[in-house]
Structure 1
Amino acid sequence: MKRVLAAAIVLTGLVAAPAPASAAGYDGICTGSDALTGTTIVVDFQELDGNGGVAAPTITRCSPNASPGTARTGIKALQDAGIPVAGTTRWGLGFVCRLNGRPSATETIPVTGNPTYKEACFNTPPASAYWGYWHADGSGSSWTYSSQGALNRNVIPGGFEGWSFSLNKTATTNPPPRVTPKNPAL
């Protein structure tokens, strides 16, 4: 019976693992004992309008590291910050499709050539409507576009992880988050 249940869970793709113990994420840049061990997460919705046409506010949250000195991926840092993250059906969290429930499956995203596009999160989101992934070490004022996915990249303690929705942009015009990635403790 246990094997049948395990097989059913794997086949449906709905694997639920217990969440590891971690410190709770909180609003704002990491401070206090988290300033040098935690990672600040920024989610900038950019042109992805909010409900009723009201722009969604940029989210800035501290992602404390419950075990300072141990490496965490960008996905783990998002989860530790308390930001809901969803991947695609085909690739799981290898491709981030939704952050904080956005874009929703019923939300129209006006991509060039398809003004009524809706993101189903089955395959990789299109290059004209996706969450760009950025990082910074916290010592300066600029972001770096990540050449690795958040599932494969370890965060920098005291640094910043940024997510910015890119709509109808190119590789050179993809917008970084509109928050300065400066850690006052550095």
Structure 2
Amino acid sequence: MKRAIAAVTVLIGVSLAAPTSAHAAGYDGICTGADALTGVTVVVDFQELDGNGGVAAPTITRCSPNASPGTARTGIKALQDAGIPVAGTARWGLGFVCRLNGRPTATENIPITGNPTYHEPCFNTPPASAYWGYWHADGHGTTWTYSSFGALNRNVIPGGFEGWSFSLNKTATTNPVPRVTPTNPAL
């Protein structure tokens, strides 16, 4: 059941990868200036997914400008426009996000319950005990909402936030929210 819940909440389409467009590149921090109302801020929180040598990876916060304000973009497109590398699975493409910014790597140990040396091959769906949870916020408050749609099936909210948080050995009700407050000061 946990795997089914994770699969439904992470399911986001079936293309392997799409190139980023040649418009204005994403930049570090929340969206500012004209991008504050037309772009979306993307947050990638590695949570318990350790970095090199056991040092926690820093949380990434980047603006994803919208090259065509007023046109809809998916959560995957927002990641790409922010300049964050995203990889899906061999079987489902970007229907399941497997790696963000190259993490987890194919060789790093992910200590899931019952298998402390699990390695994510990105062939099929990641296990329900180790996957990227997808969150969103409209930028008006301080609360994240767990997405009931996948990032290829959900359009971002201009001025809002898109959040990715690595869920390790959690349940559908204890998945960690990204540790960045999703407030847009321009709204």
- What corresponds to 1:42 in structure 2? 43
Once residues 147 and 24 of structure 2 are traced to their aligned partners in structure 1, the CA distance between those partners, rounded to angstroms, is 26
Once residues 83 and 16 of structure 2 are traced to their aligned partners in structure 1, the CA distance between those partners, rounded to angstroms, is 19
AA aligned opposite 2:141: G
Tell me the CA shift for residue 23 of structure 1.
1.4
1:168 matched to 2:179: no
1:48-87 matches, within 5 Å, as 48-87=49-88
* Change beyond 3 A, Cα 1:17–1:112: closer
Instruction: Indicate if the aligned counterparts of 1:48 and 1:165 stay in contact, CA closer than 8 A.
Output: yes
Instruction: Indicate if the aligned counterparts of 2:16 and 2:93 stay in contact, CA closer than 8 A.
Output: no
Once residues 128 and 83 of structure 1 are traced to their aligned partners in structure 2, the CA distance between those partners, rounded to angstroms, is 23
Instruction: Indicate if the aligned counterparts of 1:138 and 1:181 stay in contact, CA closer than 8 A.
Output: yes
Instruction: Indicate if the aligned counterparts of 2:110 and 2:119 stay in contact, CA closer than 8 A.
Output: yes
- What corresponds to 1:115 in structure 2? 116
AA aligned opposite 1:47: E
Instruction: Indicate if the aligned counterparts of 1:63 and 1:77 stay in contact, CA closer than 8 A.
Output: yes
Greater RCO (Cα-Cα under 8 Å, separation 6 or more): 2
- What corresponds to 2:131 in structure 1? 130
1:139 matched to 2:140: yes
Query: Deviations along 1:82-121, whole A, 9 cap, x unmatched?
Result: 0000000000001000000000000100000111100000
SS of 1:36's equivalent?
helix
Task: Name stretches of at least 5 consecutive residues in structure 1 with no aligned partner.
Answer: 1-13
Instruction: Indicate if the aligned counterparts of 1:21 and 1:66 stay in contact, CA closer than 8 A.
Output: no
Larger radius of gyration: 1
Once residues 132 and 69 of structure 1 are traced to their aligned partners in structure 2, the CA distance between those partners, rounded to angstroms, is 27
AA aligned opposite 2:58: P
Task: Name stretches of at least 5 consecutive residues in structure 2 with no aligned partner.
Answer: 1-14
Q: Aligned residues: percent identity? A: 88
The alignment covers a number of residue pairs equal to: 174
AA aligned opposite 1:148: F
- What corresponds to 1:100 in structure 2? 101
Once residues 17 and 102 of structure 1 are traced to their aligned partners in structure 2, the CA distance between those partners, rounded to angstroms, is 18
SS of 1:62's equivalent?
strand
Query: Deviations along 1:28-60, whole A, 9 cap, x unmatched?
Result: 000001000000000000000000111000000
What TM-score, normalized by structure 1, do the two folds share? 0.90
- What corresponds to 1:148 in structure 2? 149
